[in-house]
Structure 1
Amino acid sequence: MKIRRSLSRIEDYKSNIKEFEAVSTERESGASELSDILTDVSSLVQQGKTGTYSASDRESIATALRSYQETVFDIGNSTYCGKYVFGGTDEYTKPFTLDASGNLLYRGADVDTGTFAAETRSMDISEGTTVNTAYSGVSLLGSGTDGSGLPNNVYSLIGEIATAMENNDMTNMDAYAAKVSTQQEAVTVQHAEIGAQCQFIEFFSDRLTATKTNLTERQTGLEGIDSAEAILNYNLASSAYDATLAMGAKIIPQTLLNYLS
């Protein structure tokens, strides 16, 4: 019974891990795409701030930046099986929205001015081992502003650069270029952390599979028997029993006659 209970718990753990693996993969994909976007944004900023680009050229760059900005918004609201993977502890409510002025909000708070605490939600993945399954979208996209007043949030940053391009204003473009590089490094760190968690979960999944195999073999040794072997043994025993009865039917009458005589 102890082995059966252990196997039942392992199935529960594996079910938890299976879903979390899929969620983590979706997060890793989002982080990777965001990193690629920042690479493209950096290239566009470098192009736009050169003296050979006209106001019309920068308008075109601004259009591309607005498109990237929308993609960033979509990444922040990525889902898996109806759950928001960057929703922190609330998987069922869209984490990122826009206010009437187009400012990005996380759970109703402005990402540039709000303060966001770390979010945790524990899930058991083995006996005595838990993992935090909550991941806040602002951890990936960023929040607040730096000492120069530039936004740390990728969505807001791209938006500011797009506005500057639309206005043909190159005043802060060097600072924007440096800021894009800084935020890309921050995203890379988050991407690595998500990837490390994916590897950790994969390790535990393999470990549980191995444990399940060992316990199943022990259960078979203690409780089980091969069905084909069982049928064969039953048939042999039955045949032996029938033969014994037949032999007894012949022996007993003769013995009885000998006794009577």
Structure 2
Amino acid sequence: MEIKDRIQNGVTYLAADGLEAAGGVVHGFSTRLGGVSTGIYASMDLGTTRGDDSEHVRENYRRFLAAIGAAPDRIAMSNQVHSDVVRPVTVSDIKKDLYDQEPYEADGLVTDIPGVALVIFSADCLPVLLYDPVRHVAAAAHAGWRGTASGIVERAVEKMAFYGSRPEDILAAIGPGISKCCFETHEDVPNAMTAALGVRATPFITPIQHGKFLVDLKGINAMRLERAGLAPEHIAVSGDCTACQPDKYWSHRVTQGVRGSQAAVIQLL
């Protein structure tokens, strides 16, 4: 599987060809391109907590969801806190208004209900979308370094199993996020990875000067998905680095937190 750029009605987003070919689902990873926001939020800001004009954000959602083919009025979100919690989503979780507050914290969402758009946010952390075309189950996960260390993608696969999904049937797409080239860290990040994964983490960690390291979060999450039982050919990884491409993506590191947000969406048909 590959993740490729798509342009629809002026909106640039990314999609995994394997999920598109499987049918029964729509999905997409947003970029900064194709929205109506201005200033530091220009232009496709999908963050509801970043301080952008709410009417601009509403129009951005309308445009992005229309571009990927998702219904605009059946959205489910969560308060993301860098955990490994994956929440099952029911119709009661559908937001009545885009700006309604969610009463729960989770970094993953899973459902087997058609028409519910699962939404997660990112701006360096990895957005991960999962789809089982056999049992018709979808999940979305937000994998920062803490979530990566605690195994958020494996928790998502486990939650999908509650709906009858088998790992070998699941397709996964790891969207654009900070890549190893730009994810320079102190020892706390590699220590968290090795504490969780032991020597399996070492191929994804490169020591550099002054006690710092480069860490490959995309590679670790792909490895974790394989450990959870997914076939390697069922895992697509975006090569786009949010920190390398500031004209296309928001990067929390590059902007020092003054930014909008990307969103990743998956919706069963």
Structure having the larger proportion of residues in helix: 1
**TM-score, normalisation: structure 1:** 0.24
TM-score relative to the length of structure 2: 0.23
